[in-house]
A and B are shown apart, each in its own frame.
Chain A
């Protein structure tokens, strides 16, 4: 019997919030095609496997082998391949992050499978995704029995947890093959940073933020909202904030529920990375710039005056002041 296979990837022992979205999308596919929902959970614990069952998986195969604490493409691919060859899933669902994108290419070739990345909707036989940097949507069709899909973060509703839901949990026996890529070390990003790809809200600063000091204000704004901090290329190239915060054609592609663009004009190369946001708030002195024209809510004014007032107002409403 075939199945839907969710690849649940821990990162350094931590579960990835996008896993719940994969389970949500996987459960819907499984119900529609009357197949079981299988999850393979890598770098984890039995307790985490139980949570996958409570969030909709019928069967969870997990391993916590010590070589899997950090991401090594060949080893992770070996586990998913061994599982897929045995279980013959019709769909393999992965997150659209560096791990998911690394694995997707290897899995597709080894399983002779069609591949679509950053999928935002699944309907019938089609996978919908953006191409031309968000200027067009594409409906992708497959001619292979297995499809490998990476899902765009925030595009699918996360599976809710039903404690007491039962399913099968099996620990995989994994003997790592020798690899030609070896993990050496990890240097963590500044503590307390929320990753752009996993954020429901993003506060982005552009050239209008004026300098590294201006980004302190933006960071405080993001912190007040529990949002991640983004930037335009103009701000990154000026050295005000590291590249990992860049959104756009040559940076990250994001699709949060709320994107707040402060002092960013909305050039096409920037819009390429964020036009999929559900709601855009623009704060800008120039009411006529493209970002203000595209925004769900456009606030006309000087960001240095507005943002401190907005922070105060939010704190007030939260009862913190």
Chain B
């Protein structure tokens, strides 16, 4: 972790309809952290990521990536969407999906070539999915699909990674494999931001955490702020009991 701020969010307010889903969020994410975003279903975690990445237009507030707007810095950012956001029956192969990670650097019209294919194969190898490269994506298990999405982000070779529930529906082995990749990214100086639901593993996996429930409850180092007080404030019930059970 360095003193640089990788992602800065100021006064961000987002609404789909009338009711705001995110309210006046201020957030500074230092470079080089492996950060969890935690909060109950519907807390606005996905919405926060989508707003930072310019998928959604906020009602108010601003976002900057290393001090500049997202539009100028998009090559520094990679994204792993929530798995359920796409139709896995789409007629394409695992390799093809991973190749999409190279489309951003290619820009309009230009086709992926050997270089891009090589990068995609390397990413598949990294997530242990090389043997499945020619599989139709609907014939992959949920955990394998998740790894394909991870590989697609890895291929982007970014500085900041946003991942929306990369551990959703994966078994213990895959979870360890994925977290090891994330830790490797951090070691390489990258900033990794992960929406995470399993509170038990937060201290073990992450060094930074943001509590979110429409408003930002707290953000900072796990060892300082990952406590019952913040959990209770975020989830609205007394977490002391449930987490120690």
A binds B: no
- On B, residues with C-beta under 8 Å from A are none
